[in-house]
């Protein structure tokens, strides 16, 4: 039996997520301006969509994700070496974001964030992450990622000894 190491999720902010990717949210630091006769504020260019390597094209998808049993054990990490991948929640539930810096995966570098339903995330190319982790109820996410040739998903299986504190 491996030792269980419990990880307490951090609050997701653009600053503490910067090494992994972008946080897609309305905040006063984001570039924004009035459009549509003043009836709309455009929060502009919030994430670096990077999908064109090796002739890739943009895909817009919906992921309908079922929550895993709590407490969530981290049993895998994956990365997309050819593209970014963005998750934008469509519902009202928070969700978990599990990431590690690009390059060689170091278990000790895994970080867990609790994202609110008002926050999307965009993993930069090569950022290690767990697949989509909904909480509390089946949740839909708009997912912007890459379609095209080439292997774009490296997966590493882990032993589940990293446990995310009940969220
Ligand atoms: N497999 C797939 O399309 N989804 C994963 O990449 C994920 O991050 O959820
Ligand atoms: Ni992914």
Residue 1 has a pLDDT of 42
Tokens coding 23: 């946080």
Nearest CA residue ID for atom 5, ligand 1:
131
Judge whether 99 and 137 are in contact, CB under 8 Å: no
Domain map of the chain by residue range?
5-164
Nearest CA residue ID for atom 7, ligand 1:
131
Q: Could you write out the DSSP letters of every residue in the chain?
A: -PPPEEEPPEEP-HHHHTTTEEEE---TTS-EEEEGGGTEEEE---S-----GGG-EEEEEEEEEPPPPSSPEEEEEEE-TT--EEEEE-SS--EEEEEE-SSS--GGG-EEEEEPTT-EEEEPTT-EEPSPEE-SS-EEEEEEEEESSS---EEEEEEEEEEEPP-
Mutation pick for ligand 1 pocket among 66, 76, 78 (CB with most ligand atoms within 8 Å): 78
Per-residue pLDDT of the chain (167 residues; tens, 9 = 90+): 457 899 999 999 999 999 999 999 999 899 999 999 999 999 999 999 999 999 999 999 999 999 999 999 999 999 999 999 999 999 999 999 999 999 999 999 999 999 999 999 999 999 999 999 999 999 999 999 999 999 999 999 999 999 999 97
């040739």: which residue's tokens?
Answer: 149
Nearest CA residue ID for atom 8, ligand 1:
131
Judge whether 86 and 47 are in contact, CB under 8 Å: yes
Tokens coding 53: 């390597």
Residue 48 has a pLDDT of 98
Q: Determine whether domain 5-164 maps to CATH 2.60.120.480.
A: yes
Residue 2 has a pLDDT of 55
Does the beta carbon of 96 lie inside 6 Å of ligand 1? no
Residue 135 has a pLDDT of 98
């Amino acid at each position: 039996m491996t030792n269980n190491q419990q990880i307490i999720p951090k609050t997701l902010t653009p600053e503490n997520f910067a090494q992994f990717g972008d946080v897609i949210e309305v905040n006063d630091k984001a570039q924004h301006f009035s459009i549509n006769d003043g009836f709309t504020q455009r929060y502009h260019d919030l994430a670096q969509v990077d999908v064109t390597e090796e002739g890739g094209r943009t895909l817009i998808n919906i992921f309908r994700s079922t929550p895993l049993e709590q407490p969530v054990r981290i049993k895998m990490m994956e990365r997309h070496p050819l593209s970014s991948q963005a998750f934008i929640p469509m519902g009202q539930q928070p969700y978990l974001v599990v990431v590690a810096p690009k390059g060689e995966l170091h278990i000790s570098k895994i970080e867990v964030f609790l994202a609110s339903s008002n926050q999307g995330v965009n993993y930069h190319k090569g950022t290690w992450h767990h697949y989509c982790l909904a909480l509390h109820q089946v949740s839909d996410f708009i997912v912007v990622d890459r379609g095209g040739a080439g292997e774009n998903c490296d997966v590493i299986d882990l032993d589940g000894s990293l446990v995310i504190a009940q969220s």
